Chain A
Amino acid sequence: MNDPLAKVKRWFTGGGLLWPVLSLAALLAFNLIYQPAFFRVVVQDGHLYGTLVDVLNQGSKVMLLALGMTLVIGTGGVDLSVGSVMAITGALAALLVTTTALPFAAVLLLCVLAGAALGAWNGLLVSGLRIQPFVATLILMIVGRGSAMNITHGQTIPFEHSAFVFFGNGHFLGLPFTVTIVALGFAATSLLTRRTAIGLFIEAAGDNETASRFCGAPVRLVKVLVYAFSGICAAVAGLIATSNIKAADPSRVGEFLELDAIAAVIIGGTALTGGRFTLVGSIVGALLIQTLTITMYNLGMPPAITPLPKSVVILLAALLQSPIFRAQVAGLFRRRTAA
């Protein structure tokens, strides 16, 4: 047990948070050595600025999406539609703040409700009609973006609404307000899943749906709820993205963020096949992706190349979840110990 090799092997084969955290730490250590400026944080007008703050701020959308995606993937599903839901709610919000006098809180509420409704539609297709999650959410992914463009009649809608602009660009407690949103979102999701039994029901539904049903758990309801929740997360992320550019741009907002969100969840250690999920892992996964992007940018590499390291990280995360791969690696260690 005290054999260091065995310990390493246990870490490696044990799964959990070790690998995402280790990777993030390694990336940060790399930055510490090669570009210490990465860690410089300055205070200006009582607000913090610096690369680390940028990571949190720019990573906020994927982190939010990843929260909802984690629960969906926990049930053994996947939600491809979140990017399109972002576009729809962003367009809706821009339309509401420019054409009505509704207070921003009401706009926010309406958009969240819209996101929940769109998500629930996915959930109904998946649990009611038993359509594979991939296809069920693909439909909304394809139709949703087109519909968002119809809301704005194909135009971008710029706005100057102070509360809405603050939502994605303001500062709170010295940090970007988006950090607060993510923190609130994370806290709410954790409480919702871990202080109630919903988290257990999600994991049980993903781990063994039949057994879950035989125990009388409301599997279908749980599924509808997680997709609705994913829709809510996408709605909030859509508002942030729209606020960031102070305009609704439905053709671009949230494009392919669903893939980043899925990647974040997988990198964080939740298996695509469902079951055990980790919200912290998904947040770490999202931060890892964002740090990677910014690091490459700071190194002077074009942002277009960032998919490359991302693909490697995703593949490694996937391989780490494969029992066959783990057995191979464990065998490697065994052979070396024996030698």
Chain B
Amino acid sequence: MNRRFLPLLVTGGVLVALFIAASSLYEGFSSARVVGNLFTDNAMLAAIAVGMTFVILSGGIDLSVGSVVACTSIIIATLVSQHHWHPLAAITVALVLGTGFGWAQGWLIQTYELPAFLVTLSGLYFARGMAFVVNMESVGISHSFYTGLQEFSLPLGETAVLSSSAMLFLAIFVVGMFVAHCTVFGRNIYALGGSPDSARLMGLPVARTRCAVYAVSGFCAALAGVAATLYTGSGNPAMGVGLELDAIAAVVIGGTLLTGGVGYVAGTLLGVLIFATINSALNFDGRLSSEWLRIAMGTLLLGFILLQRFLTRAPKRGSGK
């Protein structure tokens, strides 16, 4: 019990410490507006990170998500702006395509026993290329429904609002936690990542679960594409480059083991918020340049991996039978 939650506690502690430090350094950092923006600005990363959490929990990796974000965003923008589709129809198409793309990757990994790294690397190139096939340029979205979506928000106190992006952020995490902990599918993912052989012997649907995990990741990436169009009001085939790495970092910092089977969607939430807080603090500061975000994230990543290494060092058992 204690050891399981320790990484989560450490992550939480780091987040609180970061937030307190930033609040004391920068005036107005702890305002509701800034906190609200932490969510609004990072809905895209949140969606990807939740999908990535599932993939990593299952013992895999998905490098394609950054490109899928770009591809879905430009598909939506092109359909709405140049083919005059209703945004809801465009979004539905994008989500279906993203899910199908992820499922195909999972199928290849499962059927041909290929390394996930390789298949999703191919997927990364494919989706990026497709994004530019759909449209070479960034496309703005102007549609009354979309503007409505973008402007839709819930008031939070006097100065702050909960934007639609922030709602998406929170909804994704709530659903993600629910799926991970309260559905059979979620538990099968944990079992698959914990021990694929045991999962098979226990009669769990290993093949189906593996395909579905990548489908979920594809869906989440497509959702991130939707979030991106909401946030920027446009689709851009060049966006999201390297986003998968931020997501992987956030997931690992959140305490999920890259070997699979151990971790929490809630931990990923903390990981994403750490990323968001550092990013926001750097914006506040102005003196420190943006590269410090990556340096800080990388250093945290190293720290957490060393922590995991230390915690999971299992007591040695006699080899042989």
Contacts and interface: CB of A to CB of B under 8 A. Distances in A.
Whether the complex brings A and B within 8 Å at their CB atoms is answered yes
Contacts of A323: 113
A147 B295 contact: yes
B53 to A, nearest CB: 15
Interface stretch (B30-38, B115-123, B176-184): B115-123
Given A319-B114, A324-B112, A311 B122 contact: yes
B132 to A, nearest CB: 4
Interface of A: 78, 129-132, 134-136, 138-147, 149-150, 154, 251, 256, 259, 262-263, 266, 272-273, 302, 304-312, 314-315, 318-319, 321-325
Contact of B258 (A132, A150, A154): A132
Is chain B's binding surface mostly helix, strand, loop or mixed?
helix
A238 B61 CA distance: 28
B258 A304 contact: no
B297 interface: yes
Contacts of A318: 112, 114-115, 118-119, 122
Contact of A146 (B117, B241, B294): B294
B130 A308 contact: yes
Contact of A150 (B238, B245, B295): B295
Contacts of B242: 256
Contact of A134 (B61, B119, B124, B125): B61
Nearest to A154: B289
B210 interface: no
Contact of B119 (A307, A315, A325): A315
B293 A146 contact: yes
Contacts of A251: 291
Contacts, number: 130
Interface string B198-239: 000000000000000000000000000000000000000110
A130 B248 CA distance: 19
A141 B119 contact: no
B301 A314 contact: no
Contact of B302 (A134, A139, A147, A322): A139
User: 10 tightest CB-CB pairs across the interface, nearest first?
Assistant: A308-B129, A143-B298, A311-B125, A142-B298, A311-B126, A146-B291, A307-B125, A307-B129, A304-B132, A146-B295
Contacts of B249: 138, 142
Contacts of A311: 122-126, 129
Contacts of B297: 142
Contacts of B248: 138
Given A309-B129, A319-B114, 11 more contacts: A131-B305, A132-B259, A146-B298, A149-B291, A273-B115, A304-B129, A307-B128, A314-B122, A319-B108, A321-B114, A324-B112
B17 interface: no
25 contacts: A135-B252, A136-B305, A138-B301, A141-B245, A141-B298, A142-B298, A142-B301, A145-B291, A146-B292, A146-B298, A147-B295, A149-B291, A150-B295, A251-B291, A259-B125, A263-B121, A263-B125, A272-B115, A272-B117, A304-B129, A304-B132, A305-B129, A311-B122, A311-B129, A318-B119
